[in-house]
């Protein structure tokens, strides 16, 4: 019997061993991510979140080229041929988009992900150490939010003035940070085009004021960047005076100068080890370690890391030739079997320019021309400045169509041509008019399915 | 805490419930084989209803002290079991016959084992001997088709690649549907750890020749003991152990050659030129442009032929093509002067493989051992693919005393997998099929593969995968240590305590390097490389009591215990560009470090489990089990889950009305049923938390929200009911089982779409439900016994999967989102536009509109405007019927086994290939041969639309590319010959066997792609099933081997 008591004791001890509390061990914290309750506690946490907004804006599917190439492929009428195998991108070029196009869905998502990041910062500005930091951080994220909404409303809604701006649906305005749980309140409808523009102008105007002493983050946007985007917004609205003044503020800041050599405006890594050109006002920065230049992906030749997708056609080359434009007209490369690509995007690590000084001269010229004013310079002086860099003789008189032609040949493949055509009511082709429904992206089907209060665009 | 108290109370009852047993009677005897009278070594001689027992020694003799009223149970693997009442006998000699019933087999059940005839759950057992030496690198490939309801899809012919296993259907949309793998009691790391080229398979580190048996726990009763991880079934792998007796030494060597099961016919150079001239001409007609215009498609295509043939088109080739000369030479592989059959270039001819095994096993009454080593080297059928593995294993058992026994299992493996890129990558060699056949495979000016610098890198039309050879390294090297130790205390004759501590260490190094020759692929002038390390350290301990006791007609056995698992993964990587020259490939040598990272993640499970089996009068069986599982993965509001199951069985054949001497037809009949709950916790490690993570920009650290919180998140719950009948006829020469199951999964772990305007994409929630229902039938039959033996085993299973509720969530996946989770339809449903063939008047592709009319009917009119057609359900990728059929024959020393398996009722999506290569010449890709049947004004009765260069005419996603995926495959044929004993004895050996094996020799299918067993590796997901994307086919292998026993 003694043996049995010993064994009973053993069994009891083993039982105790088994039930030895391991319960606490089930609380495992993640290592390379941080619980949301602990993420935004200090001033430096919030500054980190500001940097995160640039990262969001620069995502591959948004501000690293997608916003630009989608518009340019839509605007094309035979200047290029999109010969790539991605059906999503073929749809842009052929103007045959469908609501399930996954690229469109990604662009929408990345835009709003960026906006949510900015809203998180705005709600935590109080945690920053100084008022100066607070102002600059607010200015930076409002700049990103305003620019993001501007990109979205230009792609997903009818152009300003194409019908009634107060009735035309724009994009949903979300101005608070999202927290779980997700409820019906998160199914927000589209605000009108005019409401979205009002918000964009408010964000950018506040940003320009907040940033008068510069940004708080390294490589952050400054007041001139906010003014540059503002000039674009006003130009889109046909508010030439405000567009002219905003462009003039950028030029007058003296922070930027035209590159003497047109080819040096692009391919930042190959030209300057990644430093943006002297005329870059705001660029999405790409490094070897971080970011993808998606303009390179589609416009670049495979020898430079691209997909050989956008092939330049004779029509565009002839347009440059007829213009006598030897600098910009020769800014193309040809591969081993004769395919021609733009030379603007031949560098995997080049930054993606969002706005540059040449556009400010062109905008100021156009606005001055429309208003018959000479704020900063005469239209002729501004245009000839651009022409002279391109090796073209100075004009002695100009028309609006000269200005618009110059704008196309200078800024082609930089994401503005579609919007220029739509705001100036010039048709893409005889069959695709400036206000064709096919030029407006569909609201992604996934969003319509998830949020029933969204209204689809006509034609989808 | 209440649960713990309950557990203690239960143990208390167990401990107080025994009584002392007088052991004053010694019985001795000898166990022999009834067939030839030879002594049987290592037979288990057990006192019925207790753990007391001995093994017969090298002479087949045993000695045991028992009480006179005891019953001795003699059992031995492969032999029928015998029970003898001791009474006043002191010598009991026993003869055991070969078991042809499979009913006395011991089945591993998880924390214990059970006799097959007493099992009330559904457990499929595959013997290790059935899968020995099958030419495959991982055990799941070898199991394919061998167990009813266990559906295995190898996905591709790449070696060591991830393999999909579904036990009774898929039970999740967002979480994994792969079963839990447990090797010798330890849940092992079985999820993909690779960082490129699709999933790899950590089970490929296991030498399956070491496996004694594989048990698949299919129903709730069998699996609930694994609780929150058992909903997808549990695969228990038990390795071999030594037996008492002389040491057995066995050496095995085999050598084989492999080729693809099938190639897909593509256009020859002549056909390519004809086809694209036609396509360009049609495009010119639509564009209203004169073909002689330099801007015409025709002019473009003619210059394309010239450029991509490296100038040979107008200088020789063209004349040959136009003159109608002998074209056969164009389809000859790598003919420098003419064309190329690119597909042939992608495959190796007669890829060799070899495998050598050496095993030692044996032992005495105190200690037994099993020691093995294996070297395996398989060359893939695709250029660049190779798998090499060296493994060793030591399994030891030692009896310290009658009370304490200890043991260990240790296996060590080193694998080196020379991998291929993902199916969707341009350097997937099979994608070479899409290259224009006019381009030479090798550039005559350099002698290097065409497209290699300094030659023209823009030819052929895409990257030439032949450049991979010698210029790319994609190695995955794994060192795997799977070890566990155990101690077992026999506290009482009826009560044992066992403690197991296991560790599974997976140490993986991945090395990737692309030198400057691959610039077209990488865009890097001076090469690019990555080096990635992943370490998974997985500890597990099981501590449990086993209680086993008989009282008169009652037998009670019980298991109660706990387990704890901690798995931690650490990974780091570094990548670089700008190598000084192609002579360098180490990151150390690179000019620019382009990236680096490190990461850590882990999960833990703490579990308590209990199982009780009760048997009355050998005919009434009852079983109950349950597990409490806590996991770090679950939300803070649901940390613990409880998973109970019950089952019952009735051995009808024991009843007097069947158990009469006159009844020889029915020898065994058992009715059984089970019901219970299991869970699925494969949801990632931190899905319940609201998270921020790094969002760096231009070298500055930043952060951003990445995940929405859901503190209520928990496991998926599956309730399963199973009704089964086990039967044996004609003295069990025909036996089998029949099952019907209903498996309902609720609280699906779903990545629920949230509006993109929130800044998030999805949130993981418990939403929705689905079900799996099916029948399973297993029949084993001994058709001939005696000198000529023929036996057949057949398994068949149906499965009907249905998503019953997803609360209007739209879950899409696959190429162009062609797969969708649709309520009322199975997982893996293809949801796309329905193709309506070709308009005979103009060659336009037509689609059914399928829009709902106002009156609720469906508009079946057709349209040539793709966007006017609605998407509909057009089939699904899940087989409705699966099965396997094995026939074995033996006569004297010769044996033959013929194994077939098949699936039926599933669809395969060829769009990954078809959108480029069966696409009416929209791009310049080479086309599948069937495109020659394109519509023309004289060929109007066709399903292939008119060819139009750069125009989409039917290449949008549609049912056009969805094909029947049913197949029947002659999976394995083995012919063996055992040399006569007289010859063997003369050589002083124990046995010599030579054999020939064929794998995948024949396949019957209507599928027109490479292989119907397909799941493109970088597309496959729970929802996206059955895609082909130039996916490498399975290998057809012939091998020969020799086995020598010393």
SS3 content of chain B, % helix, strand, coil (to 5): 15, 45, 40
Subunit contact A285:B697, Cβ cutoff 8 A = yes
Q: Which residue, among B778, B776, B777, B780, has the nearest Cα to B734 in the 3D structure?
A: B780
B1025 neighbors B875 (Cβ within 8 angstroms)? no
Tokens 């293809």 belong to B830
Q: Least CA distance to A51: which residue of chain B?
A: B702
Nearest Cβ partner for B519 among A11, A285, A303: A303
Question: Cα separation of B759 and A114, whole Å?
Answer: 7
- Cα B581 to the center of its chain, rounded Å: 41
Question: Cα separation of A90 and A84, whole Å?
Answer: 7
Q: Mind giving me the DSSP string for B142-182?
A: HHTTSSTTEEEE--SSSTTB--EEEESS---SSS--PPEEE
- How many residues in chain A? 460
B564 contacts in A (CB within 8 Å)?
A: 22, 25
The DSSP symbol for B816 reads G
Task: Report the gap between the CA of B708 and the closest CA in chain A (Å).
Answer: 6
Subunit contact B519:A90, Cβ cutoff 8 A = no
Q: Which residues make beta-bridge pairs with B780? A: B735, B793
Lowest mean pLDDT among B30-44, B300-314, B876-890: B30-44
Q: What is the pLDDT of residue A296?
A: 96
B402 contacts in A (CB within 8 Å)?
A: none
Nearest Cβ partner for B697 among A14, A55, A335: A55
Task: Report the gap between the CA of B114 and the closest CA in chain A (Å).
Answer: 24
Subunit contact A180:B710, Cβ cutoff 8 A = yes
B631 contacts in A (CB within 8 Å)?
A: 26
B760 contacts in A (CB within 8 Å)?
A: 113, 116, 178, 182
Q: Which residues make beta-bridge pairs with B536? A: B506, B569
A35 contacts in B (CB within 8 Å)?
A: 689-692
Task: Quickly state the pLDDT bin for B20 (edges 50, 70, 90).
Answer: very low
- Answer with the residue of higher pLDDT: B327 or A65: A65
A-facing residues of B in 490-529 (CB < 8 A) are 491-492, 495, 497, 499, 519-520, 522-524
Subunit contact B689:A35, Cβ cutoff 8 A = yes
Sheet arrangement for strand B845-848: B835-838, B845-848, B862-863
What average pLDDT does the segment A125-152 reach? 97
Q: Which residue, among A302, A335, A354, A441, has the nearest Cα to A65 in the 3D structure?
A: A354
B686 contacts in A (CB within 8 Å)?
A: 28, 30, 33
B517 contacts in A (CB within 8 Å)?
A: none
Question: pLDDT (tens digit, 9 = 90+) per residue, B154-184?
Answer: 999 999 999 999 999 999 988 899 999 999 9
Q: What is the pLDDT of residue B634?
A: 84
- Domains for chain B: give ranges and CATH numbers: 23-99 (2.60.40.1120)
Q: Least CA distance to B294: which residue of chain A?
A: A314
Subunit contact B691:A33, Cβ cutoff 8 A = yes
B507 neighbors B480 (Cβ within 8 angstroms)? yes
Q: Least CA distance to B701: which residue of chain A?
A: A48
Question: Cα separation of B646 and B423, whole Å?
Answer: 45
Question: pLDDT (tens digit, 9 = 90+) per residue, B216-243?
Answer: 999 999 999 999 999 999 999 999 999 8
Give the mutation candidate from A1, A6, A16, A33 for the B interface (greatest B CB count, under 10 A): A33
Task: Quickly state the pLDDT bin for A19 (edges 50, 70, 90).
Answer: low
What's the predicted TM-score (pTM) here? 0.87
Q: Mind giving me the DSSP string for B692-713?
A: EEE--BTTB--EEEEE---TT-
A114 contacts in B (CB within 8 Å)?
A: 759
B698 contacts in A (CB within 8 Å)?
A: 54, 218-219, 285, 287, 290-291
Question: pLDDT (tens digit, 9 = 90+) per residue, B843-858?
Answer: 999 999 999 999 989 9
B697 contacts in A (CB within 8 Å)?
A: 51-52, 54-55, 58, 219, 285, 290-291
Q: Which helix (H) or strand (E) holds B750?
A: strand B749-753
Task: Quickly state the pLDDT bin for B655 (edges 50, 70, 90).
Answer: confident
Question: Cα separation of A285 and B1017, whole Å?
Answer: 33
Q: Mind giving me the DSSP string for A141-210?
A: HHHHHHHHHHHHHHHHSPPTTSS-TTTSB------S---SSP-GGG-PPPPBHHHHHHHHHHHHHHHHHH
Question: pLDDT (tens digit, 9 = 90+) per residue, A98-113?
Answer: 898 999 999 999 999 9
Does the ipTM exceed 0.90? yes
Nearest Cβ partner for B754 among A32, A186, A305: A186
Q: Which residue, among A33, A39, A178, A179, has the nearest Cα to A116 in the 3D structure?
A: A178
Q: What angle do CA A79, A81, A85 make, to 5 degrees?
A: 155
- How many residues in chain B? 1046
B457 contacts in A (CB within 8 Å)?
A: 302-303, 336
Please report, for chain B, how many H helices and E strands are present, in that order: 11, 54
B683 contacts in A (CB within 8 Å)?
A: none
Is residue B557 over pLDDT 90? yes
Question: pLDDT (tens digit, 9 = 90+) per residue, B757-799?
Answer: 999 999 989 999 999 999 999 999 999 988 899 999 999 999 9
Question: Cα separation of B324 and A187, whole Å?
Answer: 66
What average pLDDT does the segment B21-30 reach? 73
Subunit contact A14:B606, Cβ cutoff 8 A = no
Q: Does B295 touch chain A (CB under 8 A)?
A: yes
How far from A52 is each of A59, B267, B340, B740, CA to CA, in Å? 11, 51, 51, 54
Token pair in block for residue A218: 């390294």
Question: Cα separation of A182 and B342, whole Å?
Answer: 52
Q: Where are the alpha helices (DSSP H) in B342-484?
A: 342-346
Subunit contact B594:A105, Cβ cutoff 8 A = no
Is residue A297 over pLDDT 50? yes
Is residue B336 over pLDDT 50? no
Q: What is the pLDDT of residue B702?
A: 95
Subunit contact A186:B758, Cβ cutoff 8 A = yes
Q: Which helix (H) or strand (E) holds B907?
A: strand B907-909
Nearest Cβ partner for B755 among A27, A305, A451: A451
Is residue B326 over pLDDT 50? no
Question: Cα separation of A276 and A356, whole Å?
Answer: 10
Nearest Cβ partner for A186 among B631, B685, B755: B755
Task: Report the gap between the CA of B915 and the closest CA in chain A (Å).
Answer: 9
Give the mutation candidate from A26, A153, A183 for the B interface (greatest B CB count, under 10 A): A26
Half-sphere exposure of A283 (CA within 13 A, CB side): 27
Q: What is the CATH number of domain A42-300+347-354+413-444?
A: 1.25.40.390
Nearest Cβ partner for B599 among A32, A85, A446: A32
Token pair in block for residue A72: 């340019």
Q: Least CA distance to B687: which residue of chain A?
A: A30
Q: What is the pLDDT of residue B625?
A: 95
Q: What is the pLDDT of residue B15?
A: 43
Q: What angle do CA B809, B810, B814 make, to 5 degrees?
A: 145
Question: pLDDT (tens digit, 9 = 90+) per residue, B561-581?
Answer: 999 999 999 999 999 999 999
Q: Does B620 touch chain A (CB under 8 A)?
A: no
Q: What is the pLDDT of residue B328?
A: 39
Question: pLDDT (tens digit, 9 = 90+) per residue, B972-1016?
Answer: 999 999 999 899 999 999 999 999 999 999 999 999 999 999 999
For residue B667, the SS3 value is strand
Is residue B9 over pLDDT 50? no
Task: Quickly state the pLDDT bin for B963 (edges 50, 70, 90).
Answer: very high
A120 contacts in B (CB within 8 Å)?
A: 704-705
Half-sphere exposure of B406 (CA within 13 A, CB side): 4
- Answer with the residue of higher pLDDT: B680 or B96: B680
Q: Which residue, among B205, B236, B197, B627, has the nearest Cα to B424 in the 3D structure?
A: B197
Is residue B865 over pLDDT 70? yes
A339 contacts in B (CB within 8 Å)?
A: 458
Count A/B contacts: CB-CB distance under 8 Å.
Answer: 275
Ramachandran angles phi, psi of B559, nearest 5°: -130, 135
Q: What is the pLDDT of residue B91?
A: 87
| Average pLDDT, rounded, for chain A | 93
Give the mutation candidate from B51, B697, B707 for the A interface (greatest A CB count, under 10 A): B697
SS3 content of chain A, % helix, strand, coil (to 5): 55, 5, 40
Question: Cα separation of B700 and B245, whole Å?
Answer: 69
Query: Burial, B334: exposed, middle or buried (Cβ in 10 Å; 0-12, 13-18, 19+)?
Result: middle
């Amino acid at each position: 019997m003694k043996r049995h008591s010993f064994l009973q004791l053993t069994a009891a001890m083993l039982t105790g061993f088994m039930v030895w509390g391991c319960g606490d061990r089930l609380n495992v914290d993640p290592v390379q991510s941080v619980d949301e309750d602990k993420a935004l506690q200090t001033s430096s946490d919030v500054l980190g979140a500001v940097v995160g907004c640039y990262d969001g804006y620069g995502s591959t599917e948004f501000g690293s080229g997608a916003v630009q190439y989608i518009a340019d492929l839509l605007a094309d009428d035979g200047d290029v041929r999109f010969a790539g195998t991605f059906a999503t991108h073929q749809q842009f070029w052929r103007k045959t988009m469908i609501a399930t196009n996954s690229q469109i869905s990604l662009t929408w998502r990345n835009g709003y992900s960026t906006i949510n990041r900015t809203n998180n910062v705005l709600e935590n500005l109080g945690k920053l150490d100084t008022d100066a930091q607070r102002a600059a951080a607010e200015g930076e994220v409002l700049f990103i939010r305003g620019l993001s909404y501007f990109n979205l409303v230009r792609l997903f809604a009818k152009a300003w003035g194409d019908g009634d701006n107060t009735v035309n649906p724009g994009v949903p305005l979300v101005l608070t940070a999202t927290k779980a749980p997700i409820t019906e309140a998160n199914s927000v409808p589209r605000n009108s085009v005019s409401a979205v523009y009002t918000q964009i102008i408010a964000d950018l105007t506040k940003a320009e004021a907040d940033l008068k002493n510069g940004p708080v983050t390294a490589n952050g946007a400054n007041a001139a960047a906010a003014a540059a985007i503002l000039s674009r917004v006003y130009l889109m609205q046909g508010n030439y005076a405000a567009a002219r003044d905003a462009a003039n503020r950028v030029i007058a800041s003296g922070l930027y100068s035209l590159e003497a050599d047109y080819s040096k405006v692009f391919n930042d890594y190959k030209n300057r080890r990644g430093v943006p050109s002297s005329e870059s006002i705001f660029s999405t920065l790409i490094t070897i370690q971080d970011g993808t230049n998606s303009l390179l992906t589609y416009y670049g030749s495979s020898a430079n890391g691209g997909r050989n997708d956008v092939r330049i056609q004779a029509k565009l080359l002839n347009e440059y030739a007829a213009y006598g434009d030897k600098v910009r007209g020769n800014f193309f490369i040809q591969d081993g079997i004769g395919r021609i690509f733009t030379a603007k995007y031949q560098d995997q690590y080049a930054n993606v320019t969002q706005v540059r000084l040449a556009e400010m001269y062109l905008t100021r010229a156009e606005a001055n021309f429309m208003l018959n004013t000479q704020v900063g310079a005469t239209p002729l002086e501004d245009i000839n400045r651009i022409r002279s860099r391109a090796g073209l003789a100075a004009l002695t008189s100009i028309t609006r169509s000269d200005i618009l032609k110059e704008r196309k040949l200078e800024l082609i493949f930089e994401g503005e041509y579609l919007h220029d055509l739509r705001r100036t009511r010039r048709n893409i082709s005889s069959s695709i008019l400036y206000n064709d429904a096919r030029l407006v992206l569909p609201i992604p089907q996934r969003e319509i399915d998830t949020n029933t209060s969204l209204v689809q665009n006509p034609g989808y | 805490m209440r649960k713990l108290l309950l557990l203690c109370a239960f143990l208390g009852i167990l401990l107080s419930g025994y009584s002392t047993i007088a052991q004053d009677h010694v019985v001795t005897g000898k166990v022999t084989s009834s067939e030839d009278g030879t002594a049987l070594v290592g037979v288990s001689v057990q006192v019925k209803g207790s753990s007391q027992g001995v093994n017969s020694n090298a002479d087949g003799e045993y000695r045991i002290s028992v009480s006179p009223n005891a019953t001795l149970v003699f059992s031995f693997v492969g032999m029928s079991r015998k029970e003898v009442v001791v009474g006043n006998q002191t010598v009991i000699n026993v003869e055991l016959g070969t078991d042809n019933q499979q009913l006395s087999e011991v089945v591993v059940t998880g924390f214990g084992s059970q006799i097959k005839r007493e099992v009330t759950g559904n457990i499929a057992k595959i013997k290790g001997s059935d899968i020995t030496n099958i030419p495959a690198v991982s055990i799941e490939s070898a199991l394919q088709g061998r167990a009813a309801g266990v559906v295995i899809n190898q996905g591709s012919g790449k070696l060591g690649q991830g393999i999909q296993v579904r036990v009774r259907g898929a039970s999740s949309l967002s979480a994994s549907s792969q079963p839990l793998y447990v090797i010798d009691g330890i849940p092992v790391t079985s999820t993909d750890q690779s960082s490129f080229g699709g999933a790899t398979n950590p089970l490929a580190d296991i030498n399956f020749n070491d496996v004694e048996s594989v048990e698949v726990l299919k129903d709730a009763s069998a699996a609930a003991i694994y609780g929150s991880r058992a909903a997808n079934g549990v695969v228990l792998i038990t390795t071999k152990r030594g037996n008492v007796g002389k040491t057995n030494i066995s050496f095995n060597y085999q050598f084989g050659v492999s080729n693809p099961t099938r190639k897909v016919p593509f256009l020859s150079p002549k056909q390519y030129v004809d086809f694209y001239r036609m396509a360009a001409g049609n495009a010119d007609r639509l564009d209203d442009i004169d073909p002689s215009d330099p801007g015409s498609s025709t002019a473009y295509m003619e210059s394309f032929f010239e450029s991509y043939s490296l100038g040979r088109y107008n200088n020789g080739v063209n004349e040959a093509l136009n003159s109608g000369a002998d074209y056969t030479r164009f389809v000859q592989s790598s003919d420098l002067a003419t064309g190329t059959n690119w597909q042939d270039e992608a495959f190796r001819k007669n890829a060799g493989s070899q495998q050598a095994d050496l095993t030692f096993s044996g032992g005495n009454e105190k200690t037994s051992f099993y020691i093995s080593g294996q070297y395996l080297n398989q060359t893939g059928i695709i250029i660049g693919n190779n798998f090499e593995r060296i493994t060793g294993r030591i399994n030891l058992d030692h009896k310290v005393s009658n009370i304490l026994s200890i043991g260990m299992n240790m296996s060590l493996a080193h694998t080196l997998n020379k991998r291929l890129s993902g199916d969707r990558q341009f350097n997937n060699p099979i994608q070479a099929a899409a290259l224009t056949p006019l381009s030479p495979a090798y550039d005559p000016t350099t002698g290097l593969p065409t497209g290699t610098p300094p030659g023209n890198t823009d030819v052929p039309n895409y990257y030439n995968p032949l450049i991979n050879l010698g210029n790319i390294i994609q190695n995955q090297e794994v060192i795997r240590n799977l070890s566990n130790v155990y101690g077992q205390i026999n506290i009482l004759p009826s009560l044992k305590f066992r403690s197991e501590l296991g560790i599974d260490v997976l140490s993986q190094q991945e090395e990737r390097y692309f030198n400057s020759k691959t610039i077209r692929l990488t865009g890097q002038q001076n090469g690019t490389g990555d080096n990635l390390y992943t370490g998974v350290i997985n500890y597990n301990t099981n501590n449990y009591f086993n209680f086993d006791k008989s009282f008169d007609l009652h037998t009670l056995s019980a298991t109660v215990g706990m387990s704890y698992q901690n798995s931690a993964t650490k990974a780091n990587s570094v990548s670089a560009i700008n190598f000084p020259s192609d002579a360098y490939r180490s990151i150390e040598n690179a000019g620019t470090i382009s990236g680096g990272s490190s990461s850590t993640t882990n999960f833990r499970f703490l579990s308590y489990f209990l199982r009780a089996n009760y048997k009355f009068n050998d005919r009434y069986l009852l079983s109950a089990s349950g597990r409490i599982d806590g996991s770090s993965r679950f939300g803070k509001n649901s940390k613990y889950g409880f998973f109970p199951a019950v089952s019952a069985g009735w051995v009808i054949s024991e009843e007097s009305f069947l158990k009469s001497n006159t009844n020889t037809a029915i020898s065994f009949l058992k009715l059984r049923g089970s019901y219970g709950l299991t869970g699925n916790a494969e949801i990632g490690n931190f899905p319940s938390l609201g998270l921020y993570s790094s969002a760096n920009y231009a070298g500055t650290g930043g952060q951003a929200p990445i995940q929405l919180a859901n503190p209520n998140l928990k496991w998926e719950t599956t309730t399963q009911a199973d009704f089964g009948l086990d039967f044996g006829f004609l003295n069990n020469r025909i036996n089998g089982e029949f099952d019907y199951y209903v498996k309902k999964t609720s609280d699906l772990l779903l990545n629920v779409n949230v509006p993109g305007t929130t800044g998030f994409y999805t949130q993981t929630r418990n939403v929705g439900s689905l079900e799996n229902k099916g029948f399973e039938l297993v029949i084993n039959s001994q058709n001939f016994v005696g000198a000529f033996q023929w036996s057949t085993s057949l398994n068949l299973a149906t499965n009907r999967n249905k998503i019953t509720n997803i609360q209007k969530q739209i879950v899409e996946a696959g190429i162009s989102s062609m797969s969708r989770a649709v309520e009322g339809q199975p997982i893996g449903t293809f949801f796309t536009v329905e193709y309506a063939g070709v308009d005979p008047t103009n060659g336009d592709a037509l689609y059914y509109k399928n829009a709902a009319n106002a009156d609720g009917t469906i508009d079946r009119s057709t349209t040539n405007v793709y966007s006017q057609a609605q998407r509909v359900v057009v089939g699904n990728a899940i087989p409705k019927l699966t099965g396997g059929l094995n026939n074995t024959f033996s006569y004297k020393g010769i044996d033959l086994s013929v194994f077939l398996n098949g699936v039926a009722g599933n669809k395969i999506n060829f769009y990954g290939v078809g959108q480029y290569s069966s696409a009416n010449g929209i791009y310049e890709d080479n086309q599948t041969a069937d495109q020659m049947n394109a519509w023309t004004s004289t060929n109007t009765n066709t399903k292939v639309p008119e060819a139009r260069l750069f125009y989409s005419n039917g290449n949008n996603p549609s049912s056009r590319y969805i094909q029947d995926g049913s197949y029947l495959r002659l999976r394995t044929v083995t012919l063996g010959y055992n040399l006569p004993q007289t010859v063997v004895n003369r050589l002083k050996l124990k046995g010599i066997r030579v054999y020939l094996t064929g794998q995948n020799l024949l396949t019957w299918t209507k599928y027109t792609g490479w292989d119907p067993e397909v799941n493109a590796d970088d597309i496959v997901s729970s929802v996206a099933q059955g895609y082909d994307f130039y996916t490498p086919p399975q290998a057809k292998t012939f091998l020969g081997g020799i086995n020598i026993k010393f």
